[in-house]
Amino acid sequence: MTSADDLIQLVRHYNPKTNEDRLREAYAFGEAMHDGQFRHSGEPYFTHPVAVAAILTEQRLDDATIITALLHDTIEDTKASYEEVARRFGDEVAMLVDGVTKLTNLQLSSRETKQAENFRKLFMAMSKDLRVILVKLADRLHNMRTIRAMRPEKQAIKARETMDIYAPLAGRMGMQWMREELEDLAFKVLNPEGRQSIIRRFVTLQRETGDVIHRITGDMRFELEKAGIDAEVFGRAKKPYSIWRKMQEKDQGFSRLSDIYGFRVITQTEADCYATLGVIHQRWRAVPTRFKDYISQPKSNGYRSIHTTVSGRDGKRVEVQIRTRQMHDVAEAGVAAHWSYRDGVRTENPFAVDPAKWIAGLTEQFDAEEDHDEFLEAVKLEMYSDQVFCFTPKGDVTKLPKGATPIDFAYAIHTRIGHACVGAKVDGIRVPLWTRLRNGQSVEVITAEGQTPQVSWLEIATTGKARTAIRRALREADRERFVRLGQELARSAFEHVNKKATDKALETAARALRVGDVTELLARLGAAVITAHDVVQAVYPELTDAEGDEISPRRAVIGLQPGQNFKRAKCCEPLPGERIIGIATRGEGVEIHAADCARLVEFEEQPERWMDVNWHSGTHPAVYSTTLELTIGNDAGVLGRICTLIGEKKANISNLEFVDRKPDFYRLMVNVELRDVEQLHSLILTLEAESDVAAVARFRE
């Protein structure tokens, strides 16, 4: 355990004027209060507050925050009171300790509606003093570093909570290093096999290519010295979870993933940043569409840097970040840079943002949101987002999250513009509304009088503001339709457990779900805001808990009209768990497409055929055919092992066809029958980890 003298030395390193007596007194008080308490690992409990304080010294934070870290569990877990802490250490520290205690008591792992309420409380606590959440983040980081001492089921709960809430919150605050470590620690708990697979592949790559980082940093230093630019160059491999996320986003195997190395150039001046960019682009080939200038267009948390991706040695892509030392300090500390000390005084960093303004900007758009679930969704969307910058025809800049579409752009300008949107032009060319916008593009929204939001827009929009506005408009315009659909869904769900959806039963469900009245309950059910399973469970929990029947393929899709049949589109073969769109066909049938299916563009001018449908929640049987394209080594027993792996993942092979035979490899198409998209991802991960599998991907026409 770090001693009081060692901790004080850590603080003195950046703040020689620290009040050593107060730090020593807080250390002694915390140690006395936690005397006799132990962690799950068997260590004295006080080792935890000390470790949290040590983490915060890395951010060069003020004495009040360090003392709060030492005392953050005293009011909750010991006989110490708020009044005693205030008397000994002042009102500021007592308020911070009390704030951390209240955050700790929020059950952020609870059901979604309650989670949304707690998220709102979390933002309220942050708005009073952001240092509260800095201590809580450090507390969570140390707990995740030592999570192996907890029971497996508790580990999973804490890891999911970390992945969903604390990691993206750290990222949104600009503390990217903490976000990456929290994500990777949670990934280690939630998917240890996937993480080990990434590490094994990475070790193999290093063995084959040697020390790429050392070679590229050496090349960069040489080029910069030749150009007379004084700069530091650092390189590193990206974290396993970061690599895993890129594999999922790009739907690529590890062998096809290129930018797994990151390099950072720290310059003396802003002018040197742009000079460095020129040197790097002259020496290496820049990758189109992979350039971002966050110096001229900084992020809301103060982050400034130039990002570019270039093709390095052997054609390998590497990402390069270029920034000054002051920009780097903000990039490391994020919003916490506001409290950073250097040489005993608060750092006057011109790039550090005012925490009060930052939190106000983050919460302002959610304050008027009445629906708790939509509030939570909007918060998570905004926290996970990266940003792109697009221009209006007049040249005004509009900030949007990465992956935003013209629909998001329209709603960012004004809700009225979004509602009336019928099309868009990007850089003067007409594009579909689901087009992903990129940095620097000029976007013109085409509107028409009488246009109203379409259900399909919910699959296209990515921002919380747009999705909230679309949902509200759809509820107002289609409330009667949603009520009728909700009645049908409720009738079907209750019949499934041999009960009737009587007025009394629905009134009971409305009270249990705190919805208001039956009409509102049915409207939300029809709009897929709540599920039929939730409604039945509210009235008959013992039946839904015990009921484990698989969902019949005939009723796997909800949102169809009575008597309508459906079939999965062969072009995209959608699986339960994926977002889907229904396209009405001739007769009474409906063809179900994945929301990202390329064929949907054929129906863009026929909006009357589009239907808002969803997969039924619950367990589906493994009857949904999906095609995998595999490239495997041509060795004895390889195909047998592949078939065995597929069988072990509870997937059935319905057909197998060789499409290419070479002396060293086979390429084949394998039709497998699966339950849902999660089983597909698990199967692909297992096959990718097999050394004789060169490539595996889902095949779509």
Catalytic positions are: 76-77
Residue type, 186: A
Alpha helices (H) in 300-447, listed in sequence order: 325-333, 355-364, 372-384, 406-413, 415-419
- Cα(96)–Cα(84) distance, rounded to whole angstroms? 14
Residues in the chain: 701
- Cα(228)–Cα(540) distance, rounded to whole angstroms? 75
Q: Are residues 463 and 400 in contact, defined by beta-carbon separation less than 8 angstroms?
A: yes
Residue type, 105: N
- Cα(73)–Cα(100) distance, rounded to whole angstroms? 8
Q: How many angstroms separate the Cα of 620 from the Cα of each of 79, 679, 685?
A: 52, 11, 21
Cross-sheet strand order for the sheet of 429-431: 429-431, 421-426, 443-447
548's tokens = 């484990």
CA atoms within 13 A on the CB side of 300: 23
Q: Are residues 263 and 319 in contact, defined by beta-carbon separation less than 8 angstroms?
A: yes
- Cα(513)–Cα(509) distance, rounded to whole angstroms? 6
Q: Check the CA dihedral 539-540-541-545 and report its sign.
A: negative
Give the pairing of strands 421-426 and 429-431: antiparallel
Q: Are residues 525 and 494 in contact, defined by beta-carbon separation less than 8 angstroms?
A: no
Alpha helices (H) in 162-290, listed in sequence order: 167-172, 176-190, 192-209, 212-226, 240-250, 270-283
Greatest Cα pair distance in the chain: 83
- Cα(135)–Cα(166) distance, rounded to whole angstroms? 12
- Cα(668)–Cα(631) distance, rounded to whole angstroms? 7
- Cα(401)–Cα(86) distance, rounded to whole angstroms? 42
Going by C-alpha positions, the residue among 369, 381, 453, 380 that lies closest to residue 415 is 453
What secondary structure letter does DSSP report for 549? P
- Cα(298)–Cα(656) distance, rounded to whole angstroms? 52
Coil/strand/helix, residue 528: coil
Burial class (CB in 10 A: 0-12, 13-18, 19+), 2: middle
Give the pairing of strands 345-346 and 341-342: antiparallel
What secondary structure does DSSP assign to 408-475, as a single string?
Answer: HHHHHH-HHHHHTEEEEEETTEEE-TTPPP-TT-BEEEEE-TT----TTHHHH--SHHHHHHHHHHHH
Coil/strand/helix, residue 392: coil
CA atoms within 13 A on the CB side of 235: 17
Enumerate residues 6+ apart whose C-beta is below 8 A from 45: 34, 37, 38, 39, 73, 77
Q: Are residues 435 and 385 in contact, defined by beta-carbon separation less than 8 angstroms?
A: no
